[in-house]
Amino acid sequence: MEIHTDRRQGVMEKLRGAMSLFTPALLVFMAGMILANIAGAMNGSLMPLYVQSLGADTKQIGLFFTVSAIAPLVLQIVGGFVSDSIGRLKAVAIGSIAGSIGYVLYAVAPSWSWLLLGHAVSRLAGCFVAPSFQAFIAEQSTEKTRARVFAVSESAFAVVGIVGPPIGGFLSQRYGFRLMFIAAGALYLAATVIRMAMALRSRNQSSSTYHAPRKMTLANLKSSMGAMVGLVLAGGVMTWLFMSDSVNDIAFSVANHFDPIYQSNMIGMSNIQITWVISAFSIVRMIALPFGGVFADKAGERAGICLGHLLCGLGGALFLLGAAYPHFVLVSALYGLGVALLSPAYNSLISKEVPIGIRGTAFGLVSTTLGIASLPAPYIGGLMWAKFGPKAPFVLPLLASLSMAAILWFKLPGKHDKAEPTAEAQAPPLQA
């Protein structure tokens, strides 16, 4: 009994230690993020099947995800700049309104072409939320603990991938897709209420952002973008982080939307099995993320990024060999472990390289350029499936992950290498 008590006490002490990294504002912020993304996880993995159920073939499914990505591209940089200007919490609240409208359109869409409108509107939420999310976490941490704060945040956030997909799979299989979207929309609305309350509360608090506020002018936007483009094109750490993210984003965008189609049509898996595969990714990721953060802080970001890419490459190889449900659970677990190592290291390194006053713009610019590069990827995946066979799209993630692991080992600084300046001195002059 004493041994079990000591173990429980040890676990509780570790949990309290991890949670002590969170500020009160970050705790409430994460609660809203978890609710909103449980809603997204309920339908995200099944969206291709919903599009197929409304009459689309594989080429049209690829076209659906390609076209729905166009509208967000216009606003991702703007969303990041708004986050830098008015504060992270207010930008997140703006995005949540678009997300709520999107869920209404999901539930009432009569055909896949109408569903396209709802998906495009819903994706606008990410234009404001995603840049603010990463910037807000960076501003709630110190440089020495940043990877750990990112890791613990993402670990808590990973619960959405554990509970969301099975709930979505059960509701869609038992009651149909429309009822599933109604339930998901209710959760998202609750998250929107939390976010709006935080934004209203922050109006008179200077702590809502951790840099000097500035006007939303074209001159400031141009100055911020100029500074970011300079960092990306300088040939240093940001250049290689940007390039690796671009290659991986394109490769996985070619394949990811066809995962459930392949598992359903070629392997014979049910909706519930497909969503449990997604949950396996999140379970492993949640457990491994704290280790990934500590690993990046102790061994250096380069080690975490390269090892993460290697594990994702191994998962890609096993995907091509998989023939049954347990195989894909293992594939998903390998991807989860890889991302748990890669993600906190990547976020920590990019936040150290970008000046605080343009972090929102940085994440928005990276998302936009990646989105433009990968825009035709889902459609290309559909064409590859139709012309070369169902396994063809899934070869690209394997090649991308392995090649990036090798290249980045030689291009990124190691733990004991002399770090490059973070370009704080190069931050653009901004109008107050």
Structure tokens at 430: 């901004």
Assess whether pLDDT exceeds 80 at residue 121. Answer: yes
Mean pLDDT (the chain) is 78
Q: What percent of the chain has pLDDT over 70?
A: 75
CA triplet 173, 121, 127: central angle to 5 degrees? 110
Query: What pLDDT does 235 receive?
Result: 66
Residue 63, CB half-sphere, CA atoms under 13 Å: how many? 8
| Model confidence band, residue 94 (pLDDT cutoffs 50, 70, 90) | confident
Q: What's the rounded mean pLDDT across residues 268-272?
A: 87
Q: How many beta carbons lie within 10 A of that of residue 178, not counting itself? A: 14
pTM for this predicted structure: 0.63
pLDDT in tens, 276-296: 888 888 889 888 888 888 888
Q: Reduced to 3 states, what is the DSSP secondary structure of residue 367? A: helix
Q: What is the CATH number of domain 20-416?
A: 1.20.1250.20
How far is 337 from 312, CA to CA, in rounded Å? 8
Domain ranges (residues) in the chain: 20-416
Q: Higher pLDDT residue, 78 or 55?
A: 55
Q: How many beta carbons lie within 10 A of that of residue 393, not counting itself? A: 30
Which of 25-39, 129-143, 255-269, 361-375 reaches the highest mean pLDDT? 255-269
Q: How distant, in Å, are the alpha carbons of 20, 40, 114, 128, 415 from that of 122?
A: 34, 10, 13, 11, 40
Q: What's the rounded mean pLDDT across residues 351-357?
A: 70
How far is 112 from 327, CA to CA, in rounded Å? 31
How far is 425 from 356, CA to CA, in rounded Å? 11
Which of 40-54, 73-87, 198-212, 327-341 reaches the highest mean pLDDT? 327-341
pLDDT in tens, 307-331: 999 999 999 999 999 889 999 999 9
Q: Which among 94, 99, 93, 104 is positioned nearest to 40, based on CA atoms? A: 99
Which of 330-339, 361-370, 409-418 reaches the highest mean pLDDT? 330-339
Residue showing tokens 């609660």: 31
CA triplet 296, 297, 301: central angle to 5 degrees? 40
Residues 6+ apart with CB under 8 A from 367: 76, 80, 126, 127, 130, 131
Structure tokens at 5: 């008590």
- Tell me, rounded to whole angstroms, the distance of Cα 119 from its chain centroid: 17
| Model confidence band, residue 59 (pLDDT cutoffs 50, 70, 90) | confident
Q: Higher pLDDT residue, 415 or 253?
A: 253
pLDDT in tens, 329-347: 999 999 999 998 988 888 7
| Model confidence band, residue 123 (pLDDT cutoffs 50, 70, 90) | confident
Query: What pLDDT does 114 receive?
Result: 87
Assess whether pLDDT exceeds 70 at residue 417. Answer: no
| Model confidence band, residue 426 (pLDDT cutoffs 50, 70, 90) | very low
Query: What pLDDT does 256 receive?
Result: 83
Residue 209, CB half-sphere, CA atoms under 13 Å: how many? 24
How far is 302 from 324, CA to CA, in rounded Å? 35
Q: How distant, in Å, are the alpha carbons of 48, 61, 113, 282, 325 from that of 52?
A: 6, 7, 11, 25, 21
Structure tokens at 324: 């049954």
Query: What pLDDT does 329 receive?
Result: 93
Element (H, E) at 352: helix 325-353
How far is 35 from 191, CA to CA, in rounded Å? 5
pLDDT in tens, 185-244: 999 999 999 988 888 887 655 444 444 455 666 676 676 666 666 666 666 777 888 788
The sign one gets for the Cα dihedral 146, 152, 154, 157 is: negative
Are 192 and 99 spatial neighbours (Cβ–Cβ below 8 Å)? Answer: yes
Are 77 and 368 spatial neighbours (Cβ–Cβ below 8 Å)? Answer: yes
- Tell me, rounded to whole angstroms, the distance of Cα 261 from its chain centroid: 22
Written as one letter, the residue type at 277 is V
Q: What is the 3-state secondary structure (H, E, C) of 286-336?
A: HHHHHHHHHHHHHHCHHHHHHHHHHHHHHHHHHHHHCCCHHHHHHHHHHHH
Q: What percent of the chain has pLDDT over 90?
A: 17
